[in-house]
Structure 1
Amino acid sequence: MDMTKIGFLSFGHWRDVPGSKVRSGREALVQAIDLAVGAEEAGVDGAYFRVHHFAPQQAAPFPLLSAIAARTSRIEIGTGVIDMRYENPLYMAEEAAAADLISGGRLQLGVSRGSPETALAGYQQFGYVPDASDENGGDMARAHTDVFRRAIAGEPMANANPQMTGAVGSLPVFPRSDGLGDRIWWGAGTRATAEWTAEQGMNLMSSTLLTEDIGVPFDELQAEQIARFRTAWDDMGWERTPRVSVSRSIIPIIDDESRHYFGVRAQVEGQDQVGHLDGGLARFGRSYIGSPEDLVAELAADRAVRAADTVLVTVPNQLGVEFNVRLLAAVKDVFAEVDAAPVPA
C-alpha cells in the first residue's frame, strides 16, 4: 500500500502546575511552532491543532498556522477541527486564504460542528445564535461552512460600491488561494455524516471517538464509516481522489521517560470504551502504548488505520517539544513497518 502520511494533533494545553513544561498561553504557542519545525525535520508529514474556546488550549488557529508556515517548507499545516458554530465564514475565508498563501498551499483545514465544550452554547457569546429548531447548532455550522467554501472558491459575496469601483456588480473576498477548496475536511462522528461529507465533496476526518455504537470494535465501525464515505464519493462522480484521516493515541515506549509517564497506562488503556455523549451512546477508540514491535503488530491489525491515507497522532504537548519530537520520530518508524505489513482480510 501507499505510505501512510503521519501528522501530529495537538490540543495545545497549558497549565501552571508541577510537571507541566507548558505553563502559559505564550509557551503553548511558541512550543507549537517549535514542535512543527522539529516534526518536519523528523520527516513527519503534518502539524494539526484542535481548536477549543473558553479553555486554556489553542483557540485562534490562523496566526499559529501562519507562523508555522513561515518557519517550515514542507509539512502540512491544519486543524482538527474548527467548530464552525463560532466562525464568521467570510472573515475565516480571508484568514484561511492568507495562511494558505503564506504556506505555499500546505493548509489542510478540518472543520465540523464541533464537540461539547467547556462553555454552554459558547458560540452565542461570539454572536451566533441558531434557530430555535437547531438545538445544538449543527445546521448553523453547516450553513457557515457552505458560505465559507463558496467564499474561498471566489464566489461574489457583496455588492460593489459604484462610487468606489466605477461599476455595478458584486465582489468576492480577498485574497484567494487556488486549490484550497480541495483541502477542506469535515470531522464526521457517524457513518451517515461521513456519507454527507462525501456528498459535499469534502475530505473525511475521523477522530478517536464515534457518536454511535453498534457493538463492534471501534476500528471496524470506523472502517465501515470510511467505506461508506468512499462509496458515496464515487456515487457523486467527483473527479479528484479524496483524503481520509483517522486520529490515534500512539505512545511508543522507547526510553525511561516514556516508560515513566505511560508504562502503567499501557496496562489499562488498551481497550475501546463506550460512554454517553450528546445524549447518546459513543464509542471511544483505544490507546496504543507499548514497544515499537508490539505497536507495529497492533496498528497493522487496525482496519481503519489501514483504510486511511493519513493518521493524526495525538501528542501530550505538556511534556514539551523534545519529548514529542522523539515520540513522533518513533511513530514514523513504526508506520514504515505497518505500511509494509499485509492488510487484514
Structure 2
Amino acid sequence: MKAFGFLSFGHYAQVRGSQTGSAADMIRQAVDLGVGADELGVNGAYFRVHHFAPQQAAPVPLLSAIAARTARIEVGTGVIDMRYENPLYLAEELAALDIISAGRIAIGVSRGSPEPALRGYEAFGYTGAQDPRGADLARAHFELFLKAIDGEGIAPADPRQAPPGTLLPVEPHSPGLRERIWWGSGTRATAEWTGRLGLNLMSSTLLTEATGVPFHELQRDQIDAYRAAYREAGHTRPPRVSVSRSIFPIVNSKDAMYFGRRTDSDQIGIIDGFQSTFGKTYAAEPDELVEQLRADSAVMAADTVMLTIPNQLGAEYNLHILEAFAEHVAPELGWKPNTEGPVAGDPVG
C-alpha cells in the first residue's frame, strides 16, 4: 500500500450525537480535517458528491480551501456525478484547482449513484438522456470534458478577432490535468473502458455482481482487468488504482464503544436494479486489522486505500481514526508518511 487517505460523504443533520448539524459545520470541519490529515502525513482528502441531499455537493470550493492551507496532501472527489455537470465549466474550475494545488488533485468522476431526486440532473438543465439512469448523458459530458482539459479547440472564434475556422480552447489550461482524472467504476466493463482511455481507476464501494465470490476477490479481478486493458492500449504512464474501505482501529475505550464487538461480512443488495456486492467493515485491534487487510486481495493490489470516515462524529475523532491507522496499521502494509506529495502509480508491464 503506497498511500491512504480519507473519503468523507459529508453527511449533516440535526440528530443526536451528530457534530455536523448544518452544512456550515460539515464544510468547516472538512477543511479542518484536511489540514490535520496533511500534518499527520496522510496522502489524500477525498469527498463524495451528492445532490438534493444533506451531504457534500460543491467540491471545488472545499478542495480549493484545503489545497490553499496544506502543503502535501492530495485533494479529490469520489466521485463527481457527470450527469449534473457542465463539462466546459468543470474543465475551467478543475484547471484552476490544479494550478492552486500545484497538481495535488485526484478527481474521481462517474455516472453517479442512485439519488433522492427523480432524474435530478434535468432540474439542473441537462435533458435528453435516453438511458433512464442518465448514463448516456454522463458519457457525453465526460467526452467533451476530456477534450476541454486536453486543450482542444472547442468554440468557434469571432472572425473579426481571429482567422476563420479558429477554434478556441477553454482557459485556464493546466497541462497534465488528464493524468489526475479518475473514473469511478462499479463493473469490470467500465474498468476496462477506463483502462483503454488511460485514466486512473477508483474502484467503487460496491460492484454490480453477486456471484457468491467475496467482494475483495471480485474487486481484484476488476483491478486486474483494468490494468490489462491499460497496458494493451499502449499507455505507459504508471496508472493509479484506489479502493475504499471502512476501517476502524480499536485502540481505546471510545473506539470499542463505537465499533467493538462487531462482526461484519460482505452484503448483497439491489442497486439500480442490479444485484450487487458491498464490501464489509473492518473494525479490530491493530494487529488483527493488519492480518485482515493483508488477506484483502484488492487492498493489497491497489496503490491507494480510502478510509470511509463517519464525518458526523466530528473532525477531532476522525483525525484520531486516521492517526491510529497511520501509527499502528498502515506501516505494516508498506506505507510511509507523506513527505513529498501524491504518489506515482504501479508500474505497467
- How many angstroms apart in 1 are the aligned matches of 2:274 and 2:47? 26
Give the deviation of 1:166 after TM superposition: 4.6
Does residue 203 of the first structure (1) align with residue 200 of the second (2)? yes
Instruction: Provide the C-alpha distance between the structure 1 equivalents of 2:206 and 2:213, rounded to a whole number of angstroms.
Output: 13
Contact 1:43 1:329 in 2 (8 A): no
Q: Distance in 2 between matches of 1:137 and 1:287?
A: 30
Kindly provide the amino acid, as one letter, of the partner of residue 310 in structure 2. Answer: P
Percent sequence identity over aligned pairs = 59
Q: Which moved more, 1:271-280 or 1:331-340?
A: 331-340
CA distance in 1 between partners of 2:55 and 2:276 (Å) = 24
Name the structure 1 match of 2:218. 221
Structure 1 distance, partners of 2:210, 2:251, is 34
SS of 2:334 mapped into structure 1: helix
Q: Deviations over 1:207-244 (max 9, x none)?
A: 22111122200000000000011111111011211100
- SS of the aligned residue for 2:312 comes to helix
**What pairs with 1:148-227 in structure 2 (closer than 5 Å)?**
148-163=145-160, 165-168=161-164, 169-227=166-224
Q: 1:283 is matched with which residue: 267, 277, 283?
A: 277
Question: Deviations 1:268-314 (Å, cap 9, x if unpaired)?
Answer: xx210111111121000000001111100000110000000000100
172-181 or 251-260, which deviates more: 251-260
Aligned to 1:120: 118
Q: How far did 1:128 drift?
A: 0.9
Equivalent in the alignment of 1:104: 102
Q: Distance in 2 between matches of 1:25 and 1:288?
A: 28
CA distance in 1, matches of 2:311, 2:129: 37
Q: 1:249 aligns with which of 246, 250, 266?
A: 246
Match of 1:339 among 334, 338, 345: 334
- Map 1:286-301 onto structure 2 (within 5 A): 286-301=280-295
- Tell me the number of residue pairs that the alignment of Structure 1 and Structure 2 aligns: 333
**8 Å Cα contact 1:187-1:206 kept in structure 2:** yes
The alpha-carbon distance between structure 1 residues 4 and 187, as it changes in their structure 2 partners (threshold 3 A), is: same
Query: Take 1:135 and 1:224, find their aligned partners in 2: how far apart are those partners?
Result: 28
Which residue number corresponds to residue 2 of structure 2? 4
Encode CA deviations 1:230-264: one digit per residue, 9 max, x unaligned.
11111101121110000000011111221111224
Matched, 1:234 2:231: yes
Distance 2:218 2:167 in 1: 46
CA separation in 1, counterparts of 2:146 and 2:30? 27
Secondary structure in structure 2 of the residue aligned to 1:250: strand
* Of 313, 316, 321, the match for 1:319: 313
Q: CA deviation at 1:76?
A: 0.3
CA distance in 2, matches of 1:117, 1:131: 16
For 2:192 and 2:163, locate their aligned partners in 1 and report how far apart those are by CA, in whole Å.
43
The Cα offsets for residues 2-40 of structure 1, whole Å up to 9 and x where unpaired, read as x42001000111111221111111111111000000001
Distance in structure 1 (CA, Å) of the matches to 2:316 and 2:163: 57
1:45-84 deviation per Cα after TM superposition (whole angstroms, max 9, x unaligned): 0000000000011001001011111111100000000010
CA–CA separation in structure 1 for the residues paired with 2:76 and 2:168: 28
Tell me the distance in 1 between the aligned counterparts of 2:56 and 2:209.
27
Deviations 1:73-96 (A, max 9, x none): 100000000010000000000111
User: Is the CA contact (8 Å cut-off) linking 1:78 and 1:109 kept in structure 2?
Assistant: yes
> Unpaired runs of 5+ in structure 1?
341-345
Alignment of 1:123-138 (within 5 A): 123-132=121-130, 134-138=131-135
Query: Shift of the alpha carbon at 1:135?
Result: 2.2
C-alpha distance in structure 1 between counterparts of 2:4 and 2:326, whole Å = 7
The letter for the 1-side match of 2:76 is G
RCO comparison, higher one (Cα < 8 Å, 6+)? 2
1:86 aligns with one of 72, 84, 87? 84
User: In structure 1, how many angstroms separate the alpha carbons of the residues matched to 2:266 and 2:85?
Assistant: 33
Task: Decide whether the 8 Å contact of 1:207 with 1:248 is kept in 2.
Answer: no
SS of aligned partner of 2:139? helix
Q: Which amino acid aligns with 1:335?
A: A
* Equivalent in the alignment of 1:343: none
Deviation at 1:120? Answer: 1.2
CA distance in 1, matches of 2:12, 2:133: 28
1:71 alignment counterpart: 69
The normalised TM-score by structure 1 is: 0.94
Q: How does 1:253-272 map to 2 (within 5 A)?
A: 253-264=250-261, 266-267=262-263, 270-272=264-266
Q: Which runs of 4+ in 1 moved over 4 A?
A: none
* CA RMSD of superposed structures (Å): 1.2
